[in-house]
Structure 1
Amino acid sequence: MAEIDWKEARRYLGLHRPGGRVDEPLEEALRSCGAELLAAARPRAVWRHFPLTVENGTVTCAGMTIPSAHLSRHLNGCGEVYLFTATLGAETDRLLRRCAVTQVSRAVILQACAASLLENYCDECCDGLAREAAPEGLFLRPRFSPGYGDFPIAFQRPLLEALEAPRRIGLTATEAMMLTPTKSVTALVGLSPTPWCPPTGCAACGKTDCAFRKG
């Protein structure tokens, strides 16, 4: 099972900024919340492999026609794609809701731990996909999720349906296209015959004053 990246959890709490010191009581609370989360979380993921076409700012795969210049640019050069989704499970949501009512400060720390754990779990799954693709001479692109850039969030539901995620891992989307359980991710992961070199994440973002920026 994936572990919590404590440095990332502290970053989500804003403790990476100047003056964001971690004193001993806070560090103890962080570790305690992390242990409680790890006991409750039930990480699960599902993915499927599909052919892909990228043309004129539109991505077509798994019966979906996605108008998105950002996604098209990200998947340019890919002929195949993984549809991917992962969740920490309903148990995690119940823990977060309970603490939000009874221990608000602890709930904030749990949210940070959950964000770090989910990211690590997704990375762990994608590392496995990369090893699976390597013998075929293919390389994975970073995950690209609905709602990022101009990739319409309305594609949450068709992506989940293509993966049969409601039946397989209990993951659904609300009418507002929010994922349930909330600590979940959906994404497209492109497969390319050449390694991915362009900057991603914070390195590709021009918002230098973002509180969650890395580096």
Structure 2
Amino acid sequence: MAEIDWKEARRYLGLHRPGGTIDEQLEESLHSCGTELEATARPRAVWRRFPAAVEDGTVTCAGMVIPSAYLARHLKNCGEVYLFAATLGAETDRLLRRSAVTQVSRAVILQACAASLLEAYCDECCDGLAREVAPEGLFLRPRFSPGYGDFPIDFQRPLLEALEASKRIGLTATETMMLTPTKSVTAVVGLSPTPWCPPTGCAACGKTDCAFRKG
């Protein structure tokens, strides 16, 4: 099972700034929360492979016609995609809600640990997919989620429906397209005949004053 990346958890808490001092009590709380979260989380994921057509700022796959220049550029030269969804489960949500009522400071740390664990689990799943398609001479593009850039968040629900995510991993979306359980993610993952070289994540983002920026 994936494990919490403590460096990432600290970053989510805003503790990644150069020259910062280490608070031993906070470190103890971080690891205590992380241990509790890892014992509670029930990570599950689902994915399906679909043909994809990319042209003129539009991506067509799994019956969806997605108007997104960012996504189309991200999937350039990809003839197929994986639709992907993952969740830490309802138990994690219940833990976060209880902590928000009983101890707010602990709830904040748990949120950071959950974000790190979810990312690590998604990376683990995608690493496995990359190994599966490698014999076909294919490479995975980084995950690209609804709501990022100009990828309309309204595609959250049709993506979940294409994956039968409600039935398979208990993941749904509200009327406002928020995922339930909340510690979940959906994404499109391109399959390309060439390795991915362009910068990703913080390196590709122009928001240099972001509190969660790496480096």
One fold, TM greater than 0.5?
yes
For normalisation by structure 1, the TM-score amounts to 0.99
Q: Which residue does the alignment assign to 2:158? A: 158
The reply on whether 1:106 has 2:106 as its aligned counterpart is: yes
Which AA in structure 2 matches 1:185? Answer: V
CA shift, 1:37, in A, is: 0.2
Q: CA RMSD in A?
A: 0.7
Counterpart of 1:91 in structure 2: which amino acid? E
In structure 1, the residue matched to 2:145 is: 145
In the TM superposition, 1:1-215 aligns within 5 A as 1-18=1-18, 20-215=20-215
Equivalent pair of 1:14/1:20 in contact (CA under 8 Å): no
State the shift of 1:20 in Å: 3.9
Alpha-carbon separation, structure 1, partners of 2:19 and 2:193: 45
Q: How big is each residue's C-alpha offset from its partner over 1:107-157, in whole Å with a ceiling of 9 and x where there is no partner?
A: 000000000000000000000000000000000000000000000000000
Alpha-carbon deviations, 1:40-78, whole Å to 9, x = none?
A: 100000000000000111000000000000000000100
Aligned residues: 215
CA distance in 1, matches of 2:59, 2:47: 18
Whether the 8 Å contact between 1:47 and 1:84 is mirrored in structure 2 is yes
Which 5+ residue runs of structure 2 have no aligned equivalent?
A: none
In the aligned structure 2, how far is the partner of 1:78 from the partner of 1:21?
45
Please give the alpha-carbon distance, in whole angstroms, between the structure 2 residues aligned to 1:214 and 1:2: 21
Tell me the distance in 2 between the aligned counterparts of 1:166 and 1:73.
Answer: 30
CA distance in 1, matches of 2:22, 2:112: 14
Identity %: 88
Structure 1 counterpart of 2:14, one-letter code: G
Q: Do the aligned partners of 1:51 and 1:81 also contact (CA within 8 Å) in 2?
A: yes
Cα offsets for 1:142-200 (capped at 9, x unmatched): 00000000000000000000000000000000000000000000000000000000011
